[in-house]
Amino acid sequence: MTFKPAKWPRKLRSQEWFGGTSKDAIYHRGWMKNQGFPADLFDGRPVIGICNTWSETTPCNAHLRDLAERVKNGVWEAGGFPLEFPVFSPSEVTLRPTAMLFRNLCAMDVEEALRGKCIDGVVLLAGCDKTTPALLMGAASVDLPAIVVSGGPMLNGHFRGERVGSGTHIRKFNEAVKAGEMTPEEFVEAEASMSRSPGSCNTMGTASTMASMAEALGMALSGNAAIPAVDSRRRVMSQITGRRIVQMVKDDLKPSDIMTKAAFENAIRTNAAIGGSTNAVIHLLAIAGRVSVDLSLDDWDHCGRDVPTIVNLLPSGKHLMEEFFFAGGLPVVIRRLGEDGLLNKDALTVSGGSIWDEVKDVQNWNDDVILPRDKALTKSGGIAVLRGNLAPNGAVLKPSAASPELMVHRGRAVVFEDIEDYKARVDRDDLNIDETCVMVLKNCGPRGYPGMAEVGDMALPAKLLRRGITDMVRISDARMSGTAYGTVVLHTSPEAAAGGPLAVVQSGDFIELDVGARRIHLDISDAELAARLAKWEPAVPRPDGGYVQLYHDRVTGAETGADFDFLVGCRGNAVARESH
């Protein structure tokens, strides 16, 4: 039986490969048919790529093969032709020196795969922290119809009657061991309860934050972000998404139609409401750059500043992603933003309708998980963007994860020149430090680490932990995990390795932090700062060859997303013609 293709309003892109009787068309079709595809699949069906970051070395994404099959079912049902392909999969937990070093590599892989392959639209299968932004960055640069399916969070952990959040409790238990409150054997016993199912972190870490950002941007179907990885409804979402991408191709609904300035403002406010990861700042700036949307740190500050944090999840609150899903998930949060006048309601989504149409009728089923405004975790949440002579281009802090009593603070700097210096000295009893000091870590930015690792939430010195100290002001040019917590100033820019003022901070200097005034200040004279900078020499050598050298030479600062300068912008999907 011959399939009769639907009538499409324009020639499909895939027909540049498969249409007609030329030698090139026969070459492409003929090789594809060795997989057993019937001839009529090449006669006008939309070809849907399934961009899969599955990998056994990326535990968060190790179940995506199953979801890919569900997506394929949906594509078949809608009259499309699904073709799955792999891309580089940066794992947060198994990739050294840091997954962030390879986010841009993954984005390059995605971009060139989409541009070079015979597809009309794409489903982006993501999960682990860097995979979601990388796939969105690559898809944005090519601007073919695209839609995200997230892998979803793992199930809740439980240990001795306590709810255990992945990532967050590793830090908590590690500090308990250093403080003498927990034995190493108990720590190992707790390990078995931390990751008890497939999926990404079950806290509001970076993976769940970026899944929420994809939904808030309109690039995933409503409700996608919070469904647990092993819940049958995650499979249903995947299959429905497979159906939807076929219609998106017919409508020519592209990332540039959806990811507008209004959409990014919605995402920033959503991040504030959920107490999302500071990593969202860098990732959204990079994604915006790929669609030529003018987004800056100032947008993060003014859009998110007056938004209360109402999602009561670890690390800011007490619940986990399962409870968030059962309470109604992200659609409830977005509806609340709309009711409070904090949502661009007309922003378009992959559904073809507005974001408000998708959420206006949802209900909150647990007001201890999604809190009323008058019980918000933080009345003014979001991401605080700090500036001053220590961070001329900006630095960030997450108020919902910080200690209120430290939001205004002046303390003596205790400086660590790099992460190895920190590891060597932090737990020495002769380290000259107390709880009033400010811990400063240098050379951990995009160039410095390289790759800007999640080391900014420096664990406190053991001798202070043993005294019951649980938080101190910490400053670095690094990032921190979305599962982390504390009064931590991050992404200080320009970074130390690029000669920013952070590079010349000395132990004994005093540093002033005033989050309300958005100020971070090194308490030395302008003349002294200029003199130190004039004498500065790079402590981090330029890498000699390979991808790391490319990264070092072409990565932009954290304040613009740490993307490669030559990848910024939408370059489209022109087909490169060939002759065999």
What pLDDT is attached to residue 256? 98
Task: State the CB neighbour count (10 A cutoff) for residue 483.
Answer: 27
Residue 6 has pLDDT above 90, yes or no: no
Q: What is the mean pLDDT of residues 239-244?
A: 98
Specify the pLDDT at position 25: 92
Confidence at residue 579, expressed as pLDDT on a 0 to 100 scale: 63
pLDDT given at position 3: 39
Give the model's pLDDT for residue 459. 93
pLDDT at 138 over 50: yes
Of 399, 408, 407, 364, the C-alpha closest to 378 is: 399
CB contact at 8 A, 71 and 50:
yes
Question: What is the C-alpha separation between 20 and 131, in angstroms, rounded?
Answer: 37
Task: Centre a 10 Å sphere on the Cβ of residue 240 and count the other Cβ atoms it contains.
Answer: 18
| Per-residue pLDDT, 244 | 98
Q: Please, which residues bridge with residue 319 across strands?
A: 313
Does residue 125 carry a pLDDT above 80?
yes
* Residue bearing tokens 């959806």: 258
pLDDT attached to residue 1: 36
Asked whether the predicted pLDDT for residue 113 surpasses 90, the reply is: yes
Helices (H), 219-329: 232-251, 255-258, 261-274, 279-290, 297-304, 321-327
Whether the Cβ atoms of residue 151 and residue 199 lie closer than 8 Å to each other? yes
pLDDT tens digits for range 406-432: 999 999 999 999 999 999 999 999 999
Residue predicted with more confidence, 51 or 162: 51
Helix (H, G, I), strand (E, B) or coil at 225: coil
Tens of pLDDT, residues 267-306: 999 999 999 999 999 999 999 999 999 999 999 999 998 8
Q: What's the average model confidence in pLDDT over 134-155?
A: 97
pLDDT at 8 over 60: yes
pLDDT of residue 158: 84
| Position 552, amino acid | H
Average per-residue pLDDT for the chain: 94
| Token couple for 100 | 């962030």
Cβ-based neighbours of 530, under 8 Å, separated by 6 or more = none
Residue 440 has pLDDT above 80, yes or no: yes
CA 336 to chain centre: 23
Q: Residue 25 — φ and ψ, nearest 5°? A: -65, -45
For position 2, what pLDDT does the model report?
43
Residue-range domain boundaries for the chain? 45-153+201-375, 158-191, 384-559
Domain 384-559: give its CATH architecture. 3-Layer(bba) Sandwich (3.50)
CB 251 within 8 A of CB 129: no
CATH fold of 45-153+201-375 reads: Rossmann fold (3.40.50)
The stretch 493-518 carries a mean pLDDT of: 97
Q: Residue 453 and residue 491: Cα distance in Å, rounded?
A: 10
Which residues, 6+ apart, have CB-to-CB distance to 504 below 8 Å? Answer: 529, 532, 533, 536
Separation CA 143–CA 139 (nearest Å): 6
Amino acid at residue number 521: H
Name the more confident of 249 and 484. 249
Q: What is the pLDDT of residue 179?
A: 87
SS3 422: helix
Q: What is the rounded distance in angstroms from the CA atom of residue 580 to the CA atom of residue 196?
A: 51
Q: If you search the block for the tokens 């931390």, which residue do you land on?
A: 194
Between CA 83 and CA 255 the distance in angstroms is 20
**Confidence bin at 17 (pLDDT 50/70/90):** very high
What is the rounded end-to-end Cα distance, in angstroms, of the chain?
A: 31
* Confidence class for position 175, pLDDT limits 50, 70, 90: confident
**Taking a C-beta distance cutoff of 8 angstroms, is the pair 80, 244 a contact?**
no
Q: What is the pTM of this model?
A: 0.95
- Helix 184-191 with 168-178: angle, nearest 10 deg: 170
